[in-house]
Every structure is written in structure tokens, then in C-alpha cells.
Structure 1
Amino acid sequence: MISSQEAEAKILQLVSALDREIDVETVDLTAAPGRILATDVTSSLDFPHWDNSAMDGYAVRYADVQSCPVTLDIIEEIPAGVQPQKRVEMAQAARIFTGAILPEGADTIVMQEQTRREENRVTILQAPQCQEFVRHRASFYQAGETLLEAGIAIAAPEIAVLAAAQCTQLTVYRRPRVAILSTGDELVSPEKTLQPGQIVDSNQYALAAFVAQNGGIPLQLGIVRDRPDELKDAIANAIASADFVLSTGGVSVGDYDYIDRILQELGGAIHIQSVAIKPGKPLTVATFARKDKSCLYFGIPGNPVSALVTAWRFVLPALKKLSGLATNWSPELIKVRTQFELKGAMQRETYLWGKVQLIDGYYRFVVAGGSHSSSNLINLAQTNALAIVPLGVKQIAAGTEIWAMRV
């Protein structure tokens, strides 16, 4: 067995990001949320587009208002979106509103709360700072510079920036294709009537949701019986059609666990076979060379909690790197205080599922109630974090500060 850190590092070394020349597509701005930018974005616009007012007030010459009070003539009114028509000269001011273009001659804004108006004249009651409340052209961004860098995920803030910059067509990485298959004679799909000894294949659906939520395209290949020939055909088809393959079951040491042998028969190079974690110890990671791009294979335990823990811990970092994300591939770890006593497995790093909540300024972890068996997926619902009990630790007392992994 190798440690989780060794396994993650090895997996990330095996992953090559999608090619920014080949593995890209163009999407409309409305279809961009959740996608990864494949090229740097620039704009032909300055931000702000012109010198403008950050306040409702009066545009003035600073030279006229250094000694106050002083009364100025109002020469025009400038709402937002209207081009000024006059130049502000000595002893003059223009009524101006937030966002409106600064008129020629003016260099400072006096907020209206520091003025008193009488018909077409305004008295400035308090001297402003030079250039106060003026937003200068290109002070936020200069046209032609990099606006957004390749390798970032597009979310609501980026959409706002892109819309303002009039970037309506974007080059993004294609979504990674992830084939998912479940192995086992005991498995049936959810719509079937259960017979004695049968189990509903929840892994197929959980992993498909996991892939879709993290930007991939799940290719659900269904259930494959524990027959070496059928498994070999199914795995060969999966390898040929996907960037990653996730198979559940068949990677332990039972009489019907054929996966590792079949991977080798198909020409796969096996890099990992077990990791010192609980749940999720049996983990096979293999690579397959192809003409276009290599395929990474994850043989994941069949127990449903083990399957998801393994996906969160090891598949997600690989999927992030593959997708074109430039940084932050590793799981997000946060410091929390456990509200309950936690028990570890000593020889394996232990992950206990539950909820993290921010209470009184502290992140607190509440372990899910009931059995923490890798086959008990019922108390997995609403999980948002995994508490980590390190190797060699048997017990952690309630109230102790620990690391937890967000999921």
C-alpha cells in the first residue's frame, strides 16, 4: 500500500491536460458557466471606458474650489449615458450623476451633500481633494492587456467581466469524457425488481452525477457480469471511447476480481493497486497508450461509500487537471473542530463522512450518525466534508481541531 499523498502525486503525474489546440470548442457566453477557458481573453475596451463620476454631485475645476465656501455657475446637467456638451471654465460647474462622463475642463467631483444649490448656481461648502470621486479611463483595465487567463473556470464573476467586455464567443476546453461501468453478477439497475441476494447498482448513478457536477461528460456503460470475456470487451470499449474510465468492483482479492488481470491483457500499465485509506483501500490505477491520447483507468471499490470517497479523493484532482484547470487540483482542506470523538484505523488514513458548519466563527464537523460501514450509503446523504484521521492515530477526542476535506 502507498499513502494517499503518494497516490495523488502519482495520479497527477499520469494526467496530461487537454490540448489547447485540439481539445477545444467555441461556445456562446450564455453557455460558458462551468467551462474552462482555453485561451487568454483580451478586450478592445478600456475600463472605465472614459473618465466618469463616482458620485452624484458637481464636476468642477480643482483650482476653483481650494478655498471654500465658493459659488459657481452651473452650465449644464450630465446624466449617465449622455455626452457632455460644454467645457467647464473658471468659476463654472456641471451638475453630474454617478457614471456620467466627466466634461472637459473639470478634474474633480464634489458630492452633492457638500453643496447648496440656488437656481443655476451652486455653493461648494467644503473643499474636496484634487480628482476626488473621478474614475479615470483605463484605471481598472487597459485595452489589449490580458483580461482573463486560460486555465480558469468560468463562474458568475467571470461572466460579468466577459459580458461587460463584449466577449460573446469563447474558446473553452471540451468536457472530459468519463466512461463508467459497474461489475458484478449481483447488481441490477434501479427499475428492476430485486431478487434475493441482488443489489441495486447505485454506483453507476452516483459516479455519473459526480462526473457531471465536476464538468465532465459521463458515459454510462451499465452493468457488466463477472465474466472475463464480457469484462474484457466492455473495458476495451470504454478505453477506446473515453479520457478516463471508472469501473466499480472487481479490484479486490476475491475469486471473481478479474480487473487487474484484464487490464494487463489489454496492454495497460498498472501504477497503483492499493492505498492506505479507509474506506477505499483497493484502488487500481492504470494507463493505456492510444494514438490520439492516453486513457487513465480507475478501478474503484464496489462498496458505495468507498466508491465516492475514492472519487472525491483521487479522481477529482485528476479530472480537474485533465479539464484544463491551471491550478488548485488537490482537494480543499479546511481546519475544523470535531463535535464528536473520531476513531481511526491506525494502519490506514481514515475518512469519516459528515457535515461542516460555520458556528460562532468556527468550522465545526459533525460526523454522520449510524454505522460508518463502506456499504452503508444511507447516512452519506447531505455529506459536505470528510474528517481525516491520520495514519497511526487511533482516536481523536471531541473538540480537537482537525483537517477535513470538502466534498
Structure 2
Amino acid sequence: MKPVDRHLADILAQVRPLAPLEVDLERALGAVLAEDVTSPVPLPPFDNSAMDGYAVRAQDVVDVPVSLPVTEDVAAGDGALRAIGPGLVARIMTGAPMPAGADAVVPVEWTDGGVQKVTIHHRPELGNAIRRAGEDVRAGQVVLAEGTRIGASQLGILAGVGRRRVRIRPKPRVVVLSTGSELAEPGQPLGPGQIWESNSFMLAAAVREAGAEGFRAGAVTDDPARFLDVLDAQLLRADVVITSGGVSMGAYEPVKEALAPLGRVAFEKVAMQPGMPQGFGLIGEENVPIFTLPGNPVSSYVSFLLFVRPALRRMQGLPAGLPETVQATTTESLRSPAGRRSYLRAVLTGHTVAPVHGQGSHQLAALASANALVVVPEEITELPPGSTVEVIPL
């Protein structure tokens, strides 16, 4: 069987980052920057008040309490050139530019709130409550580096440095297609021999969690010709296709039957549990990556984490590899088949990890109760309680 690491390496060798494009800020959320973003000006652009209060010369308020005349009001957005002389103060609002000559701000709470004359009860330190020009960002400074995922705060700084459009790598468009004549749409009554289809919901959600766009294409029956018709139609909107089911060794394996003769998708046994049957290739005129995952839901989900998610990261211009792990101590003994790397569903609490009851590849409820996968290497078949193990947090 093929090692997990080699299978992922073969996938990543064939996957390329999507071409960058320029979009308006409103469309950039969740995408990955394809450029370094610098600030054209210092932030703040000018010295301004951090509080509502009074702009003063610190040397005029050494001995307190002291009453001083208020010469003017300075509001946020005031563009006039203003200055205060010795023994004078200006009432100032948060964000307003500091008048020339002022070197401290007295918060209104330290005063009697006077309008024409103010009594100051506490002495401010030099520079008190002043936001200095450039203290957040220097002119020309890189505020976001290429490869940064754009969230709400990143959108904030993009707008804050005056950008209206930004160059990004778009979110990969991923079509998810399940196969199986036994599958019924959730919400519909079950017929004899049927189960409700869950994989496409789970995988489309996992795609979105990975920063891509997930589209459910529903389920198709075990008819290879019908599968190919649906696949051809979906390629028009897909940067990636994920299928689940139809890749094992049974008599009705529509994905394998439909794609194997084309010679562009390799179907292999990977040394892992769950998820041994795997397929990957490039299809269509645009060489769209297709992942043919096993149909058991736990196998499908683990396969997504190990192989699809790293590929989606590569397509977004991000570092790609196997999921990061942490070390923990297992509370129970663990078993694993010889020659396969096991991914056991578990609950991670602090530095200890406990396997959940129900490790079958069909046991979706057990997966839903887990928050981690315990990784048991290929050469190990049994571990006693108290062993240190590598764990993938989910």
C-alpha cells in the first residue's frame, strides 16, 4: 500500500495556486492576499487626541487646581490650523488634531467641564492622551503580507490605509458529489434499503471551513454513465471536484468504473485507517483536480483533512502539508492494524486524550462527538494507557 505522506506529496505536486485577481474590499473577506500591502501615509496621519478633554501646555498645569481660559473648540475632522499660547487651553474631541503648542490632553473627567473657562484638578504628564503620528504604522510599512487570510480586522486595516481594491487569490470553487443508489435526500422519507445522504453536507461544510467555496451537487445512483453526465455539467463551475463513494472493490463502484478507463485518475490503496481506497487525478480541459474519496463518512472526512484540505491551501497560495499535531497522553490502550497509519477519533482535554467509543468508519455520531484524531504510526499495533501520542486537533 502507498504511504500517506507519499500520496499527499503526489497530490501537491499536481496542484497549482489559482491565478490572482483584483477585487473590491467587499468581496475580499476570506480570501488570501496575493500581494504585500503597504501604507502610503503614517497612521495616525497627525497627532490627535485620544480622549474628549482639553488640549493644554503641560507647563501651565503643574500646580493644580488651576483655572484657565478656553480659547476655542477643536472637533474631529477639523482641518483648520490652530494653536494655543501660554496660559490658554482648547476644548478638544477624540480624534481631533492637536493644536500647535499643546503637548498634553487633560480628560474632561479631570475638570469641571467649563466652556469659557475650565478648572483642572489633576496634573497631566507630558504627552498625556495624545496619539502620535505614525505610532501605529509608518509610511511605507507593510501592514499585511502576501499569504495573509483576510478576516474582519484585516479588512479594517486595508480600508485604513486607503485601499479600495486588493489583489487576492480567489477561494477555490469546490463541487461535492456523492454516489450511491441507497442515498436519500435528508427531509425525505426513507425507502427500503435507503439511508439519508450526509457526506456531501459534511464535505461542503469542511470545504468552507478550509476557506473555499463549497457546492453540493447532491447524489447520483450507481450508474457510471449518469455519474459522468453530472460530473461534466459540474466541471463548468469547479476548480476542484470531490466525490464520495464508488471507489472500493465491490461490484457497483460507479466512480471507479467511469473514470478508470480515462486514465487520468489513479485509484490506489493508501496505508491508512480509515480511508484506504483513494483516488486522485486531473480531469477536463482545464485539468481540474478531482478527489475520489471513500463513501464511509468517517473515511471520507479523514481523507478530506489529510489530502483535500492541504490541496486547497496550496491553491490559495498557503503552506500545505499534513495537519499539525500536538502531543498528549492517552487515557486508554490503543490498537491499530499493522502496516497502516490509524487516525482514531478522540476527545482531547488539556494534555490528555481519550478515544471515543465507536471507531468504525461508518460511525458518524462518534466522529461528531470527537474533537481530535489520535495518530498511531504504521509500525505500532498497540499502545498502553499513559502513552504519549501525536494528536490532530479538529
Does the alignment reach a TM-score above 0.5?
Answer: yes
Q: Percent identity?
A: 32
- 3-state DSSP class of the match of 2:301? helix
AA aligned to 1:334 is V
C-alpha displacement at 1:2, in angstroms?
Answer: 2.9
Residues 98 and 230 of structure 1, relative CA distance in 2, 3 Å threshold: closer
Give CA deviations for 1:254-298 in whole Å, capped at 9, x if unaligned. Answer: 33336446434224153x6222221111111112363xx321111
Deviation of 1:55 after TM superposition, in Å, equals: 5.4
Partner residue in 2 for 1:4: 4
RMSD of Structure 2 on Structure 1 (CA): 3.7
**Structure 2 equivalent of residue 302 of structure 1:** 295
Q: How far did 1:41 drift?
A: 4.2
Say whether 1:156 aligns with 2:152.
yes
Which region of structure 1 is more displaced relative to structure 2, 217-226 or 248-257? 217-226
Change (3 A) 1:254 1:160: same
User: Could you tell me how far apart the structure 1 residues matched to 2:345 and 2:277 are?
Assistant: 19
* 1:294 partner letter: N
What is the Cα deviation at residue 18 of structure 1? 0.8
Structure 1 partner of 2:130: 134
Q: For residue 26 of structure 1, what is the amino acid of its counterpart?
A: V
Q: Which residue type is aligned with residue 101 of structure 2?
A: G
Aligned residues of 1:278 and 1:350 also touching (Cα < 8 A): yes
Q: Which amino acid aligns with 2:304?
A: A
1:378 alignment partner in structure 2: 365
Partner of 2:310: 317
TM-score (norm 2): 0.81
Corresponding residue for residue 282 of structure 1: 277
Deviations 1:289-348 (A, max 9, x none): 63xx321111111111101111122111111222x2434665243334444443333422
CA 1:80 to 1:404, structure 2 compared with 1: closer, same or farther past 3 Å?
farther
Structure 2 contact 74–90 (Cα < 8 Å) conserved: no
Report the Cα offset of residue 78 of structure 1. Answer: 5.3
Match of 1:15 in 2: 15
Does the residue aligned with 1:347 lie in a helix, a strand or coil?
coil
Give SS of 1:209's match: helix
Q: Once the 2 structures are TM-superposed, how far is the Cα of residue 132 of structure 1 from its aligned partner?
A: 5.5
Tell me if structure 2 keeps the 8 A contact 1:72–1:92.
no
User: Is contact 1:151-1:326 (8 Å) kept?
Assistant: yes
Using the TM superposition, give the Cα deviation of residue 45 of structure 1 relative to its aligned residue in structure 2, in angstroms.
4.9
Q: 1:326 aligns with which of 311, 318, 341?
A: 318
CA shift in 2, pair 1:72/1:300, >3 Å: same
2:355 maps to which residue?
367
Secondary structure in 1 matching 2:8: helix
Which residue of 97, 108, 122 corresponds with 1:101? Answer: 97
Asked if 1 retains the 8 angstrom alpha-carbon contact of 2:235 and 2:284, the reply is: no
Structure 1, 238-247 or 152-161: larger mean CA deviation: 238-247
Deviation at 1:158, TM superposition (A): 1.3
What is the alpha-carbon distance in structure 1 between the residues aligned to residue 194 and residue 113 of structure 2? 84
- Indicate how the Cα distance of structure 1 residues 307 and 124 shifts in structure 2: closer, same or farther if over 3 A, else same: closer
Q: 1:211 aligns with which of 203, 207, 212?
A: 207
Hey, what's the Cα distance between the residues in 1 that align with 2:113 and 2:228?
A: 85
Distance 1:382 1:2, change over 3 A: same
Question: 1:388: how far off?
Answer: 1.9
User: Mapping of 1:220-239 within 5 angstroms?
Assistant: 220-239=216-235
> 2: distance between equivalents of 1:404 and 1:330?
12
Change (3 A) 1:301 1:269: closer
Q: Is the 8 A contact 1:152 1:325 kept in 2?
A: no
Take 1:169 and 1:257, find their aligned partners in 2: how far apart are those partners? 47
* AA partner of residue 137 (structure 1): A
CA drift at 1:109: 5.0
In the alignment, the residues of structure 1 paired with residue 328 and residue 62 of structure 2 have an alpha-carbon distance, to the nearest angstrom, of 56
Extract unaligned runs of 5+ from structure 1: none
Query: 1:165-180 counterparts in 2 under 5 A?
Result: 165-180=161-176
The amino acid that maps onto 2:378 is L
The offset of 1:175, in angstroms, is 3.3
Secondary structure, counterpart of 1:14 in structure 2 = coil
Match of 1:406 in 2: 393
Q: 1:335 aligns with which of 303, 327, 335?
A: 327
CA–CA distance in structure 1, aligned partners of residues 62 and 52 of structure 2: 19
Q: TM-score, normalised by structure 1?
A: 0.79
Distance 1:213 1:61, change over 3 A: same
Pick the aligned partner of 1:395 from 355, 361, 382: 382
How many residues align? The count is 390
2:15 & 2:41 partners in 1: Cα distance? 38
AA at the equivalent of 2:132? H
1:393 is paired with a residue whose SS is: coil
Name the CA distance, whole Å, in 1 between partners of 2:4 and 2:72: 66
SS of the aligned residue for 2:13 comes to helix
Q: Is the 8 A contact 2:246 2:295 kept in 1?
A: yes
C-alpha deviation, 1:121, in angstroms: 6.2
Matched-pair contact (CA < 8 Å) for 1:52–1:102: yes
Contact preservation (8 Å) 1:232, 1:262: yes
Deviation digits for residues 358-395 of structure 1 (CA, Å, limit 9, x no counterpart): xxxx3543433x32100111222243322222222233
Partner of residue 26, structure 1: 23
Structure 1 outlier segments of 4+, above 6 Å:
110-118
Cα distance change of structure 1 residues 397 and 161 upon mapping to structure 2, 3 Å threshold: farther
What 5-or-longer segments of structure 2 have no aligned partner? none
Task: Indicate conservation of the 8 Å contact 2:180/2:245, yes or no.
Answer: yes
